[in-house]
């Protein structure tokens, strides 16, 4: 587009300078307004003819040109010119030089609009936009002396020397007019960029320029100078008028919700509300900022933003920023990058929006957090929000710090409340879970409420002993059975807590905090072990050898009695008491062997202690410990959640068992396992299901054991599967023999053979269940709005069953191919098996028009506990037990049912389906 000079008024040229567009942007908070310092925009085009005839170019007169003045001056010897001969501009200059006439370096016209005036009334605007300009005589002009000696210039026209520009720098258009003070009012934060102006549509009318014209221009220019001198004192008024025009017209009214905008750059910098203090007193921006607060808009770079005492908006933009609100109700925003947002000023009411990236939020009660990708960490009142649990049927989760969490749809509220919008479980490092519920014994002599590996369960149960004290004086050690306990404690010092029977809250256990960390870390800080009773171990502290522990012994003051009042296996504040606190003067070391049941635990020795002068029962109690059911949180003794990096929350989680740590902890400790999970996920749904055995081998430690023994293997052998199952059940019945044989073919013992059917059944049930849990989290998490994978229960749990049902219906009705339909069906079976109410009748009605309604209906009606999806043409024999739902692949499969109620589905191919006789 070509502009007439009259179209480029004060508002238009300032808009181009500040924003790169002739119009003021509607969004003045856009980071795009912060342009690179080196950015050059395409020049705008201005009509030259109009500019020279009626515009600012009208003040460029020939009499101002040193070249033209030299030609018409009688003092110039031009006798060398031949009469009637036209000399081009270049020829004339060359001849002048050769005849000893010197010209200045610039012999055109250097125009200063601020010094010139006329009666037009455009003085202020002309001086603001076009103040300095260079002009020249047209290069087509020719110089001639006629026969009478009259000098004239033919093809005469005055034109701009080159392109022009508008800015506040150097010899720009307003350098003499708009000084630094004016710039601080128009562009205080330096977001403007030079506007380059090209003149187009050349001056077409030329004329003969005579000495008469020259003298007339001399007079005319003198008039311009006089008029300019009269106007010059009004520059201050003009500057004020222009700044008022720009503010009132919205060009420089850079406000956000009435707050003064302070722009940054694309470099790392610090922006603060205090920068308002640097503005002139007459700045309208300063007035608004002082009353209403500021909006700090940073560009790229790792910036630091600091708010003031008003209600501010702080936008850090891209890269890694630190954004800190002040005392008001602030809005803190950051873009892509790993940002830190501080809304923890104690006032509450702030909104923290971290955008994409691994952000860290410091918040107060009353604040609101929005995060676009769910990555990051939240600190409330200085403490990180991580893991919180609730009992089944409760509506509120609580964490170790006492924070209360409630979830309404996708809005999570904490305490008073801190509100976290668009929350999904596991985001921002917050994981809400159900507490493990006690369940009755299975009748096998052990408790197995969790759906973990069921391999050889009795071998996982052993008894380990602490020394217990009858504190309530009822003459017995009150204990909780392992079948009803939810207590986990590290009995063998491997950093993994095992589920066990426990001493009831009214009695206590003798302890010694050996590492002085304020916690009881494992059985080594109690008295007793798998091989030594508590009385014998305690005798090691009898320094005076008098057969009792009392204040005459060195470590008497270090001994503690642990009353686990909440039965969680963690020694919290208030649960550890000194012997003096409890008025225990003596613990006698003499003990009598016993064989007394205490729930499913066993008292193996009894003794006594003296309290308040009375003799009470002390006993060595062998607690029943299930080494298959474990909690691998390394920070558990300190009553803290595991420390996890942000990427761990992006990966599927699975509960660990036995000697295998839960995946979220294992990821944190092993970069190799974390990468293996990412590589497996990259293979897609079918790839995960097909290749999960390899991941299971790495997670369980089998791959590392193979490497240590120089074994390279693609497919798992019976020995490998036994090794994995024993590792996941905390056993070592055959592991040592398998390792000793370098994982080759071994025998389980003399006169024995492997029960391969039992081993295969147990392995397949466990491995495929883990594969399904992993795959659903990795590939279908968006289907499960309102549900999540529970670490405590090792199953999927619905927080909002209605939301889940709607989410599933939407995704199921969108299925358009066999492979997705099969996967969806077996996912329905899995969710039902985990105890989630899918409202089958309502769901089937909602899916009636789906091409796969029959398949989905079969899944919703299925009552078994196991599911599997074939991913390629192969044979699959269903393991016996609990019923299986098996969906064939889209290739040719052979599916064999087991002895229970199985559902085998065949899809469009030549499958062979047959059932094993019961």
How much is the pLDDT for 745? Answer: 84
How much is the pLDDT for 893? Answer: 47
Residue in 828, 450, 789, 497 with CA at minimum distance from that of residue 653: 789
Residue in 643, 623, 638 with CA at minimum distance from that of residue 515: 638
Q: Are 640 and 518 in contact, with CB atoms under 8 Å apart? A: no
Q: Is the peptide bond before 183 cis (omega within 30 degrees of 0)?
A: no
Tokens of 478: 């009150």
Distance between CA atoms of residues 170 and 115, nearest Å? 18
Distance between CA atoms of residues 733 and 759, nearest Å? 14
207: three-class secondary structure by DSSP: strand
How much is the pLDDT for 167? Answer: 87
Q: 231: part of which helix (H) or strand (E)?
A: helix 211-231
Q: Which residues pair with 272 in a beta bridge?
A: 306
Query: Region 763-783: what's the mean pLDDT?
Result: 95
- How many percent of the chain have pLDDT more than 90? 81
Distance between CA atoms of residues 852 and 805, nearest Å? 17
Residue in 354, 289, 300 with CA at minimum distance from that of residue 326: 289
State the burial class of residue 214 (Cβ atoms within 10 Å of its Cβ: 0-12, 13-18, 19+): buried
**Cβ-based neighbours of 328, under 8 Å, separated by 6 or more:** 293, 307, 308, 309, 310, 311, 312, 347
* Residue 388 to residues 151, 433, 764, Cα–Cα distance (Å): 99, 6, 33
How much is the pLDDT for 447? Answer: 41
Question: 633-668: b or e for each residue (b if 16 or more CB lie within 10 Å)?
Answer: bbebbbebbbebebebbbbbbbbbbbbbbbbbbbbb
How much is the pLDDT for 888? Answer: 59
Mean pLDDT of the chain: 91
Query: Region 911-915: what's the mean pLDDT?
Result: 41
Distance between CA atoms of residues 346 and 221, nearest Å? 69
User: How many C-alpha atoms does 92 have within 13 Å on its Cβ side?
Assistant: 26
624: three-class secondary structure by DSSP: strand
Q: Strand (E) positions, 385-501?
A: 387-390, 397-398, 404-408, 411-414, 418-420, 431-434, 461-464, 467-469, 479-480, 488-489, 497-500
**Cβ-based neighbours of 202, under 8 Å, separated by 6 or more:** 48, 49, 159
Q: What is the C-alpha end-to-end distance of the chain, expressed in Å? A: 87
Distance between CA atoms of residues 51 and 7, nearest Å? 11
Distance between CA atoms of residues 257 and 260, nearest Å? 9
Please report where in the chains the tokens 């709607």 appear, as a residue.
806
- How many percent of the chain have pLDDT more than 70? 92
Evaluate if residue 538 carries a pLDDT over 70: yes
Alpha-helical regions (H) of 232-283: 235-248
Over residues 122-159, the pLDDT tens digits come to: 999 999 999 889 999 999 999 999 999 999 999 999 99
In this structure, the strands spanning 894-897 and 912-915 are: parallel
Q: Kindly write down the DSSP assignment for every residue of 797-843, as one continuous string.
A: EESSHHHHHHHHHHHHHT--SHHHHHHHHHHHHHHHHTT----HHHH
How much is the pLDDT for 906? Answer: 53
Evaluate if residue 835 carries a pLDDT over 80: yes
Distance between CA atoms of residues 376 and 338, nearest Å? 8
How much is the pLDDT for 905? Answer: 58
**Cβ-based neighbours of 131, under 8 Å, separated by 6 or more:** 112, 113, 114, 173, 174, 175, 176, 177
Q: Which residues pair with 650 in a beta bridge?
A: none
- Backbone phi, psi, residue 119, to 5°: -95, 10
Over residues 429-476, the pLDDT tens digits come to: 999 999 887 654 433 334 445 788 889 998 999 999 999 999 999 999
Higher-pLDDT residue of 328 and 406 is 406
Q: Are 853 and 847 in contact, with CB atoms under 8 Å apart? A: yes
Q: 19: part of which helix (H) or strand (E)?
A: helix 10-19
Q: Are 310 and 273 in contact, with CB atoms under 8 Å apart? A: yes
Q: Cβ of 546: how many Cβ atoms within 10 Å?
A: 12
- How would you classify residue 697: left for phi > 0, otherwise alpha for psi between -120 and 50, otherwise beta? alpha
CA 219 to chain CA centroid, Å, is 73
How much is the pLDDT for 675? Answer: 98
* Residue 157 to residues 126, 450, 470, 575, Cα–Cα distance (Å): 22, 96, 115, 100
Return the CA Rg of the chain.
Answer: 43
Domain ranges across the chain:
2-248, 255-434, 465-637, 642-760, 780-918
Q: 185: part of which helix (H) or strand (E)?
A: helix 180-186
How much is the pLDDT for 872? Answer: 57
Distance between CA atoms of residues 907 and 826, nearest Å? 14
- How would you classify residue 491: left for phi > 0, otherwise alpha for psi between -120 and 50, otherwise beta? alpha
211: three-class secondary structure by DSSP: helix
Confidence of residue 573 (pLDDT cuts 50, 70, 90): confident
How much is the pLDDT for 168? Answer: 80
């Amino acid at each position: 587009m070509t502009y007439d000079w009259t179209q480029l008024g004060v508002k238009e040229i300032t808009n181009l300078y500040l924003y790169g567009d002739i119009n003021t942007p509607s969004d003045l908070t856009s980071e795009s307004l912060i342009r690179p310092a080196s950015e050059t925009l395409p020049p705008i085009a201005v009509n030259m003819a109009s500019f020279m005839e009626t515009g600012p170019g009208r003040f460029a007169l020939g009499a101002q040109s040193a070249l033209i003045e030299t030609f018409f001056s009688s003092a110039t010897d031009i006798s060398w010119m031949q009469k009637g001969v036209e000399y081009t501009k270049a020829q004339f200059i060359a001849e002048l030089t050769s005849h000893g006439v010197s010209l200045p370096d610039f012999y055109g016209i250097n125009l200063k609009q601020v010094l010139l005036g006329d009666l037009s009334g455009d003085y202020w605007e002309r001086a603001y936009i076009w103040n300095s300009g260079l002009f020249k005589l047209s290069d087509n002009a020719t110089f001639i002396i006629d026969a009478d000696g009259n000098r004239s210039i033919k093809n005469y026209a005055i034109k701009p020397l080159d392109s022009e520009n508008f800015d506040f720098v150097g010899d720009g258009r307003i350098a003499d007019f708009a000084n630094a003070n004016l710039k601080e009012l128009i562009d205080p934060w330096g977001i403007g960029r030079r506007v380059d102006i090209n003149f187009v549509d050349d001056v077409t009318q030329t004329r003969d320029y005579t000495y008469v014209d020259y003298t007339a221009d001399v007079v005319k220019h003198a008039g311009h100078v006089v008029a300019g001198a009269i106007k010059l004192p009004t520059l201050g008024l003009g500057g004020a008028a222009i700044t008022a025009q720009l503010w009132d017209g919205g060009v420089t009214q850079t406000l956000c919700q009435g707050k003064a905008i302070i722009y940054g750059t694309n470099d790392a910098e610090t922006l603060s509300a205090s920068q308002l203090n640097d503005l002139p007193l007459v700045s309208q921006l300063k007035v608004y900022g002082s009353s209403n607060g500021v909006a700090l808009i940073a560009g790229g770079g790792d910036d630091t933003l600091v708010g003031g005492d008003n209600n501010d908006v702080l936008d850090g933009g891209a890269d890694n920023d630190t954004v800190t609100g002040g005392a008001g109700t602030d809005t803190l925003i950051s873009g892509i990058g790993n940002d830190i947002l501080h809304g923890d000023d104690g006032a509450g009411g702030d909104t923290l929006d971290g955008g994409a990236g691994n952000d860290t939020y410091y918040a107060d009660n009353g604040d609101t957090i929005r995060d676009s990708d769910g990555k990051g960490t939240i600190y409330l009142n200085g403490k990180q929000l991580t893991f919180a649990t609730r009992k089944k049927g409760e509506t509120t989760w609580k964490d170790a710090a006492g924070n209360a969490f409630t979830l309404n749809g996708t809005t999570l509220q904490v305490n008073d409340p801190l509100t976290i919008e668009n929350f999904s479980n596991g985001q921002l490092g917050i994981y809400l879970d159900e507490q493990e519920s006690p369940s009755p014994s299975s009748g096998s002599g052990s408790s197995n409420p969790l759906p973990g590996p069921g391999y050889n369960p009795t071998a996982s149960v052993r008894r380990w002993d602490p020394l217990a004290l009858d504190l309530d004086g009822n003459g017995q050690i009150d204990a909780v059975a392992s079948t009803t306990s939810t207590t986990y404690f590290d009995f063998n010092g491997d950093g993994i807590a095992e589920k066990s029977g426990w001493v009831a809250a009214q009695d206590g256990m003798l302890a010694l905090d050996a590492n002085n960390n304020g916690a009881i870390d494992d059985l080594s800080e109690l008295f007793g072990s798998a091989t030594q009773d508590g009385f014998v171990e305690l005798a090691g502290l009898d320094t005076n050898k008098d057969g009792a522990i009392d204040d005459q012994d060195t470590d008497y003051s270090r001994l503690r009695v642990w009353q686990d009042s909440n039965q969680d296996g963690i020694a919290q504040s208030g649960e550890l008491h000194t012997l003096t606190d409890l008025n225990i003067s003596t613990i006698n070391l003499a003990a009598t062997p016993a064989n007394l049941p205490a729930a499913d635990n066993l008292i193996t020795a009894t003794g006594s202690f003296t309290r308040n002068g009375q003799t009470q029962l002390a006993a060595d109690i062998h607690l029943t410990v299930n080494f298959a059911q474990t909690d691998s949180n390394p920070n558990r003794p300190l009553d803290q959640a595991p420390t996890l990096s942000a990427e761990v929350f992006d990966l599927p989680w699975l509960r660990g068992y036995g000697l295998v740590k839960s995946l979220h902890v294992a990821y944190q400790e092993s970069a190799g396992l974390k990468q293996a999970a990412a590589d497996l996920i990259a293979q897609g749904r079918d790839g995960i299901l097909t290749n999960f055995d390899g991941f299971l081998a790495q997670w369980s430690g089998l791959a590392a054991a193979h490497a240590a023994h120089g074994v390279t293997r693609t497919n798992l052998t019976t020995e490998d599967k036994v090794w994995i199952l024993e590792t996941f059940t905390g056993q070592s019945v055959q592991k040592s023999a398998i390792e000793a044989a370098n994982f080759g073919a071994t025998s389980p013992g003399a006169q024995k053979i492997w029960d391969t059917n039992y081993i295969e059944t147990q392995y397949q049930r466990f491995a495929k269940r883990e594969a399904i849990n992993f795959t659903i989290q990795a590939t279908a998490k968006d289907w499960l709005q309102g549900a999540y994978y529970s670490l405590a229960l090792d199953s999927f749990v619905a927080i909002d069953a209605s939301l889940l049902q709607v989410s599933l219906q939407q995704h199921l009705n969108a299925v358009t191919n066999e492979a997705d339909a099969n996967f969806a069906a077996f996912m329905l079976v899995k969710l039902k098996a985990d105890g989630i109410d899918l409202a089958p009748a309502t769901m089937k009605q909602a899916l009636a028009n789906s091409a796969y309604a029959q398949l989905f209906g079969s899944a919703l009606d299925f009552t078994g506990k196991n599911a599997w999806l074939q991913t390629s043409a192969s044979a699959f024999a269903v393991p016996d037990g609990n019923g299986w739902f098996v969906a064939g692949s889209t290739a040719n499969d052979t599916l064999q049912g087991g002895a229970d109620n199985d559902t085998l589905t065949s899809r469009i191919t030549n499958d062979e389906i047959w059932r094993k006789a019961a």
